[in-house]
Every structure is written in structure tokens, then in C-alpha cells.
Structure 1
Amino acid sequence: MNRSTLLAIPLFALALAGCSSTGTQQMGQAPVATQPVVVQPLVPTSAQTVQQARLTTSIANGFVDPAALARMSAKDSSEANSAQFYALQFGRPGAPRQWAGDSGTTGSVAVGPYVRVNNLDCRDFTHTVKIGGTDYVRKGTACREQNGNWSVVPGTA
């Protein structure tokens, strides 16, 4: 087949399809709402949940060794907190999430698989902070509460 035949076949089919209706039909108009309809989600979106949890998840609550926490700047704490939250919330087991703060302070957060305990999602974590050549390691288990916040299980860190 040549090119013109290949183009002509679909055009011919479209032309026939346009001729297939017979007669005229009256279409009714759908009712028009006079007031705008506002739909509120029943459940918070994942973005809303992430934002709320990120604001209240704190490395000061057992996620980082207290000796390291005392030496960390505000930027270090912010970066470590963000990495901790995102590792717990979205991290793949065994794939550490790296972070870097001020003056060469670095760290990583590794998480285990999700485990369901008392109707809560829980994960083991290891948070390593490196300050001035010294590694501070904190291991524990964190669970996501009903409101989306992550907290360290007492006695595991």
C-alpha cells in the first residue's frame, strides 16, 4: 500500500462515522447550580498529613543521641529532623537517607520494614550523626500515631 492509501482509509472511516446519525435529536441541558459547591475531603490528603507530622516530629524526642544533639546547630537539627521523618514515612528498608548540616556535621537514617503493632505502623531505625570525626549512633523503634506523628517507643532507643 502506498502512503495516500494509508491516509485515506482512516479519513474515509471518520467521514462515514460522521454520517451515521440520522435525524435530529434534542439534547436537554443539565441543571445548573446557583451556589458554588464546596467539597471538603473527609480524610486529610497525604500532603496535609506529611506537613502536620513533619512539624511535630522532633529528633530531640529520642531519635538522636543526646550527646550529639547538644553539639548540633539549628540547621543540623532541622536537616536531621527532616531526614528522620522522610526515612520513617517513605524510606525503603536498608536504604539510608543522608543529610548534611553546618560545619561538616553529617548524618544518615536507615529504617527497617513496616511492622504493624497495636494497629500502628512501626519501624526500627538507626540514626547516625557524625560531628568532628565522632559517630553518634541511636537505634530504636518508632511508631506512627493516629495523628500521623512519629514517636520513639519508650525503652527501644
Structure 2
Amino acid sequence: MIEIEKKFLVLNDSFKAAAFAQNRIAQGYLSSVPERTVRVRIKGNKGYLTIKGISNDTGMSRFEWEKEIPIDEAQKLLLLCEKGIIDKTRFEVKIGNHIFEVDEFYGENEGLIIAEIELTSETETFEKPNWLAKEVTNDKRYYNAYLSNHPYKNW
């Protein structure tokens, strides 16, 4: 139940040609407090409820609990969320032995593209594609909960 991931900005959209899957995502936050974010997500035709704890000092690891919920319940819960629903498309790209989840944001966060990779340890090595830019793992501005309250277009 510990999520270990790194986040990177993305240079361009060349990753799209290598994507093996993509899904439109709408997500909102019932609580965006960093110590315990509670997220509602609709990904494709499925709903999810996720609880995340605060990140450790490196920003790479934190508690995460997620359960699939009926889509009609997720739609109703989205109506209860704090303002700032995140709208994005997630592209999944396999590089070496890992899958990068690349999120292209719309609406208030238009122009932002972030790639995430989940790891089994904080020291695990991985192949970096040429479309990766600056690492932003420990920059809380790039957390979705932050983006929902402080849109990228206002930076």
C-alpha cells in the first residue's frame, strides 16, 4: 500500500506514438489536505475512490489505498468535490521494463504534460525516454490535488 513514483515534465507529444493505451480521466478531491487526500476518479467507464497519505521527504513514497466503485457513485461523488475538477488524458507508454503514465491536462491546466513512473524501490533504475524533461517529484505544485486548487494557467 506504499506508492513509490517519480514525476517528470514532458518536452513534447512524441510519446503519443508509442502509447499502447489512453483514457480520459476526470477527478476531484473530497479532501485535498496533503496529510490525507481523498480522490474520486472516473477513468474511461470505471470509477475509483483513492486515499493518499503525505509524501516522505524525497516526495517519492506515500501511503495509497484505492478501490474501484460503481461509475454512477463516482459521478455523484464528483458533485461533492472541492472546486477544480481535473480533466486529462492518460497515455500509457512502455519503456524497457516500466510503464510511464503520461498525463496531458486540459481546461485550467492546459499546456501541462507530466509523466509518472511507479517503482518498486526509491533506488530502482529505469530507462529514460528522450521526451522526459526536468524531474518534479518533490515539487508539490505538480500534484493533482494542488493543480485542482492552483491551476497551471495561473502560475
* Same-fold call, TM cutoff 0.5: no
Higher relative contact order (CA 8 A, sep 6+): 2
* Structure label with greater radius of gyration: 1
The structure where helix makes up a greater share of residues is 1
The structure where strand makes up a greater share of residues is 2
